[in-house]
Structures are given as C-alpha cells and as structure tokens.
Structure 1
C-alpha cells in the first residue's frame, strides 16, 4: 500500500478484540448485590436465633404479655341468716303453707316477720316456685342468702326502704331445699372466690 496508508518499520500493531465495558460493569454490580444479599441473610439468621436485640425484644414482649392478674374488688360479705327478716306469704290454694315454711326458715336461723296469705296482686298469680320481693338493696345480700334455701325463685324489687324481704310462695313450690343442701349453698356463698393465678 502506498500513500499515507503506507506501513513502515518492522513492527506491526497487535490486533486485539476491544474490551466489553458493559460486561465489567455488570459483573461488578452482581458482585456487590451478592455481597449485600449474603450480609442481609446473615443478619436475618442472627435475629432469628437470638430473638432480635440479643433476646431483649422477645423478653420485653413476654413481660408485656405476662402482666399480673388484676385483683378483683372485694365484695361485701353476705349477711348471716339471723340478720335477714323474711315475710312469708302464701299465693297458692294450699292452706298452712306459709306457716310451715316460716317455721322451717326460723329453725334455720332466719328472722320471721309477717306470715299470711299473699296480696291480691300475687294471690294465685305466681306460677313458679316463689317470688322474692324486697327493696333495691336486697339484691346485695338478703336475696342471695334466702335463695340458698330454695331453687327456682324469681327476684323483684319495690320501693320499700326497710331491709325485710318477702317470700311469696308460688303454685310450683313443693318444699324448701334440704338443710344439708341449703347449708352447702350458704357456705359456698360466704366463701371468697379464688383470685386468678396470673400465670402465662
């Protein structure tokens, strides 16, 4: 070849394949990503086996879930049978039922007030076992105490200000609970309920 393209000298340029810069860049990025993933995976494994902050987070969560059980407010103890005055009324056609029931309640320690037939409002209108009737405060104790002596009673309140309560005997009434069963129910009533353990 002549002219300006003429090759002179005894050395020839070495013909190389041009380097692909994109491949180098991609390889470097891949290496960085791989190292990052490896570090992240190692961190996750450490957290999984140690519970996060050296086990502090799990201990904190456990202590948060395991709170001591709240102490229930102490309910006032129910009154003794001797502190409960019971008026016994018969709302059934059977005669002598009020007196016989009153006598048995007296033997069990209750104070007996009035004894007789029920008022027209209740006479022959109580289909159940009995109605316990008293003032608004009777539910706090007297109703519960007298309720241990028979089952199936209906509770009602009126506007009286006195502490006495009425036992109105209904047509389904047969007799009082046995003294043994009544004493067991009364003992359970006066026994305080166990406090929750608060275990986790």
Structure 2
C-alpha cells in the first residue's frame, strides 16, 4: 500500500520539490497528497500548485491558539486519508493535537548532526562554534525542539573557506537526496511491520 503523505513547509519548498520529484521518478514509493503551509504567500504553495497537489494554508495569528489551528489541520489530514506527516522546512513546533493523532508518524529533517545545534540557524551555529563536521539529521518528531529519536544522519566536513551560504548550499544538496532515500527505507520497514 502506498503511503499517503502530507508535507508541511513554510518557505521556498526545495525539500518539498525533492520529495515530489522522487515520487514521480519512483525512487520513493509514496504519494504526496497534501501540502500544509503556515505562510500563504510562501513559494512552496506555487510548487504544490504546479505539481497538482492541494494545499491547506493558514495564518496562525488568526487562531486563538495552536490547538485551534492544529484541529483544522487534523480535519484536512483526515479528509485526505494521510498516513504520515513529513516536515520539510516547517518552522513551527508540532503540538499535542497532531502528536497524539500521528504518534510515531511525523518526521523532520534538520541541518545539523543532532543533538548538536537544534532550533533555528543550525548552519550559522555550527560555523560560529567552529566545529569541523556538521550534516543532516532525519528524526521522529516529539514535543521538543529537534529532540525526537534519530532515524538517520549524514555528515559533512566544514572547510576552512566555507561561508554560511556555501555550507547551506552543500547541506541542501545532501538533504534533497538523503530525505527521499530515508523516507523510502522508513516506509518500507513500516509496510513490512504492518504486513506482519
């Protein structure tokens, strides 16, 4: 059975695009059936339109609290029969409403070797700290900030002449192949577990 994914994103959506492309090339046996975006004018919404994927966009400030907008998201997820939530540059912490409904079925990608440099600007943090290695982590989502169980990591050496821009570019290149590949492994294992 093909895994039906909702992809959550807040920005330009380059990881969203990489996942959609991997599905089209049959490198990822899953169906991206919904984009959830908290910024209605984000470029990722245009990417979803171009790929004929419906979007649910919302403005968090127009809700009284996180529970309210997550209940709206949950209605959309149920309507689209979503099996799995894939965070791809979604800049909000997931709250209890979604965590309970999708326990063990929400994954995130983060541009550092967690537990090092969680939260915002992980690339800048790594450079400021002077570490020689950084990379990409894919992990399950829990109530903390980038604290869930780690699924896979890929390391990247930081060169002496690396700037924030050059390092971010290298990390994106890793993410765009590493995320779909890891999702494919994850969904295959989950599928086998379901059959058993």
Higher alpha-carbon Rg? 1
Q: Which has the higher strand share?
A: 2
Same fold (TM over 0.5): no
Q: TM-score w.r.t. structure 1 length? A: 0.28
